[in-house]
């Protein structure tokens, strides 16, 4: 089940294609002082290790602009300079060799300077993002629409785009971010109807996780599922590594990027659970993190329903009778002591990726299927077929209504 993506033109951002048929790319922004070259490069390295394709850095002072020479040269992913107010910093950033620029139409007032930046960017083959933000709209557009409406955000982007078109510059990406999710979603929908430039998605100032993650995902995922969006950034009040991780996880979950990391699924737990599923899932998540195992792994609370419910997972483990039951694509392969569940899961995940599912099923321990069945039946006898007392609850509800 693929997502049919909007057809956008493609721009080249320092070797990363954005738009067209390029995969949706992941961006994040450093939180270091850009002038601190070592700290900034270290943070960029952490972001790259987490899977970002592009990094943006703030340029609020001259020494930040000067530091871009070293940062742009040493970063292993393209660097975008984020420019507000000071057109001269945009020119300095281009001179420093950055691979991209982001400018905010709401706060570079001199239109001749915007054209000047566009001419220089064109000469250097550097794309620019028009980054409209609901919180800093041009005052006249804000007044015209009586606030930051979707139409106002789109008009601001189109106005800026017109300056670029005057100097025949078209390597442009656009964002129309807002912290209000419905507003942001509608603005991007409208923008996608009036331009074919690639779109950079984001919910601005989403806040700290978990609420920030929920808001950003609500906005970005809604649009991606509609085929809108060519590059994304989670704006979280958190370590930017969390932004990068969230971006990658979202794209992998939507099937828009090839899976590189474990997709851990786990049952929500219920009265049948034979272990603390939350604890085991957390331990498994931590143990599997950073191993680059592109498989789906399931942690299930009971062997009665777990293997069946998670039969589409590449690998899973289900608890019962003090044992952990490992299964590959729903087929039982090993039974281990409950205390060894996580260690056995990690070991099997490594072997599964190295050897393949069929080989691991063929190498199943003798007697694993039978032992799992005995434990399953024992649990059924012990718990009965209604451990959550659904029958009693339904009776109670009937009496109350
Ligand atoms: Fe988890 Fe078993 Fe309950 Fe399903 S029935 S939610 S697998 S404990």
Is residue 106 pLDDT above 80, yes or no? no
Centre of ligand 1 to C-alpha 175, Å, is 43
Q: Cα(277)–Cα(285) distance, rounded to whole angstroms? A: 12
Structure tokens at 116: 């000047």
Of the residues 273, 324, 330, which should be mutated to test ligand 1's pocket, given the most ligand atoms within 8 Å of the CB?
Answer: 273
Tens-place pLDDT, residues 179-232: 999 999 999 999 999 999 999 999 999 999 999 999 999 999 999 999 999 999
Cβ atoms 25, 199 nearer than 8 A: no
Average predicted confidence (pLDDT) for the chain: 94
The predicted pLDDT at position 236 comes to 95
Tens-place pLDDT, residues 333-344: 999 999 999 999
- What mean pLDDT do residues 40-65 have? 96
Q: Cα(389)–Cα(84) distance, rounded to whole angstroms? A: 60
The predicted pLDDT at position 397 comes to 80
Q: Which residues line ligand 1 (CB under 6 A)?
A: 267-270, 272-273, 300-302, 304-306, 309
Is residue 173 pLDDT above 90, yes or no? yes
Q: Cα(375)–Cα(331) distance, rounded to whole angstroms? A: 15
Task: Please identify, by atom number, the ligand 1 atom nearest to the C-alpha of residue 310.
Answer: 7
Tens-place pLDDT, residues 246-273: 999 999 999 999 988 899 999 999 988 9
The predicted pLDDT at position 200 comes to 98
Strands 54-58 and 25-29: parallel
Work out the pLDDT band at 384, boundaries 50, 70, 90: confident
Three-state DSSP at 103 gives strand
Work out the pLDDT band at 387, boundaries 50, 70, 90: low
Centre of ligand 1 to C-alpha 213, Å, is 27
For each of the domains in the chain, give its residue range(s) and CATH number, in order of start: 11-253 (3.20.20.20), 263-383 (3.30.413.10)
Of the residues 266, 268, 269, which should be mutated to test ligand 1's pocket, given the most ligand atoms within 8 Å of the CB?
Answer: 269
Cβ atoms 35, 66 nearer than 8 A: yes
- What mean pLDDT do residues 85-110 have? 90
Over the range 55-71, which residues count as b (16 or more CB within 10 Å of their CB) and which as e?
bbbbbbeeebbebbbeb
For residue 383, give the nearest of 228, 227, 238, 274 by alpha carbon. 274
Q: Cα(292)–Cα(202) distance, rounded to whole angstroms? A: 26
The predicted pLDDT at position 385 comes to 67
Tens-place pLDDT, residues 85-94: 888 999 999 9
Task: Please identify, by atom number, the ligand 1 atom nearest to the C-alpha of residue 318.
Answer: 7
The predicted pLDDT at position 111 comes to 83
Of the residues 301, 313, 375, 380, which should be mutated to test ligand 1's pocket, given the most ligand atoms within 8 Å of the CB?
Answer: 301
Question: Could you tell me which residue, 20 or 136, shows the higher pLDDT?
Answer: 20
The predicted pLDDT at position 261 comes to 85
Nearest CA to ligand 1 atom 3: 270
For residue 361, give the nearest of 310, 326, 313 by alpha carbon. 326
- What mean pLDDT do residues 144-173 have? 95
For residue 44, give the nearest of 13, 79, 18, 17 by alpha carbon. 79
Work out the pLDDT band at 124, boundaries 50, 70, 90: very high
Enter the pTM of the model. 0.88
Q: Cα(361)–Cα(30) distance, rounded to whole angstroms? A: 45
Nearest CA to ligand 1 atom 7: 306
The predicted pLDDT at position 290 comes to 78
Quick one: what percent of the chain has pLDDT higher than 90? 84
Nearest CA to ligand 1 atom 2: 302
Is residue 383 pLDDT above 80, yes or no? no
Tens-place pLDDT, residues 231-248: 999 999 999 999 999 999
Centre of ligand 1 to C-alpha 270, Å, is 6
The predicted pLDDT at position 76 comes to 98
The predicted pLDDT at position 356 comes to 96
Secondary structure of 3-14 as H, E, C letters: CCCCCCCCEEEC
Centre of ligand 1 to C-alpha 63, Å, is 57
The predicted pLDDT at position 260 comes to 87
Q: Cα(296)–Cα(316) distance, rounded to whole angstroms? A: 8
The predicted pLDDT at position 99 comes to 98
Centre of ligand 1 to C-alpha 350, Å, is 25
Centre of ligand 1 to C-alpha 303, Å, is 8
Centre of ligand 1 to C-alpha 233, Å, is 35
Of the residues 267, 268, 383, which should be mutated to test ligand 1's pocket, given the most ligand atoms within 8 Å of the CB?
Answer: 267
Q: Cα(377)–Cα(302) distance, rounded to whole angstroms? A: 12
Is residue 291 pLDDT above 90, yes or no? no
The predicted pLDDT at position 298 comes to 97
């Amino acid at each position: 089940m693929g997502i049919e993506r909007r057809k956008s033109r493609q721009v080249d951002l320092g070797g990363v294609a954005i738009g067209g048929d390029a995969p949706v790319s992941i961006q994040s922004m450093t939180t270091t002082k850009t002038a601190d070259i070592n700290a900034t490069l270290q943070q960029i390295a952490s972001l790259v290790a987490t899977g970002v394709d592009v990094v943006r850095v703030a340029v609020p002072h001259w020494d930040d602009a000067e530091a871009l020479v070293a940062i742009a040269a040493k970063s292993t992913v393209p660097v975008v300079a984020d420019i507000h107010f000071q057109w001269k910093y945009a020119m300095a950033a281009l001179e420093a060799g950055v691979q991209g620029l982001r400018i905010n139409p709401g706060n570079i007032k001199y239109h001749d300077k915007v054209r000047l930046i566009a001419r220089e960017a064109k000469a250097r083959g550097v794309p620019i993002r028009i980054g409209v933000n609901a919180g800093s709209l041009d005052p006249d557009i804000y007044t015209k629409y009586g606030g930051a409406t979707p139409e106002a955000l789109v008009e601001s982007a189109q106005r800026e785009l017109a300056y670029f078109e005057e100097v025949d510059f078209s390597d442009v990406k656009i964002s129309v971010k807002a912290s209000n999710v419905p507003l942001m979603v509608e603005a991007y929908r409208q923008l996608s109807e009036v331009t074919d430039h690639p779109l950079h998605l984001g919910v601005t100032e989403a806040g700290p996780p978990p609420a920030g993650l929920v808001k950003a995902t609500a906005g970005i995922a809604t649009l991606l599922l509609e085929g809108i969006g060519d590059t994304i950034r989670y704006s979280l009040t958190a370590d930017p590594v969390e932004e990068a991780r969230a971006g990658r996880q979202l794209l992998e979950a939507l099937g828009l990027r090839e899976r590189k990391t474990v997709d851990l699924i786990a049952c929500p737990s219920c009265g049948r659970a034979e272990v603390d599923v939350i604890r085991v899932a957390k331990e498994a998540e931590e143990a599997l993190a950073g191993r680059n195992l592109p498989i789906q792994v399931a942690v299930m609370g009971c062997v009665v329903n777990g293997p069946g419910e998670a039969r589409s997972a590449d690998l899973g483990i289900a608890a019962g009778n003090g044992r952990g039951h490992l299964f590959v694509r729903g087929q039982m392969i090993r039974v281990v002591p409950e205390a060894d569940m996580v260690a056995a899961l990690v070991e099997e995940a490594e072997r599964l990726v190295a050897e393949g599912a069929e080989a691991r099923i063929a190498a199943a321990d003798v007697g694993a299927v039978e032992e799992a069945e005995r434990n399953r039946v024992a649990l059924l006898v012990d718990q009965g077929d209604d451990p959550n007392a659904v029958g009693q609850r339904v009776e109670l509800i009937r009496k109350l209504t």
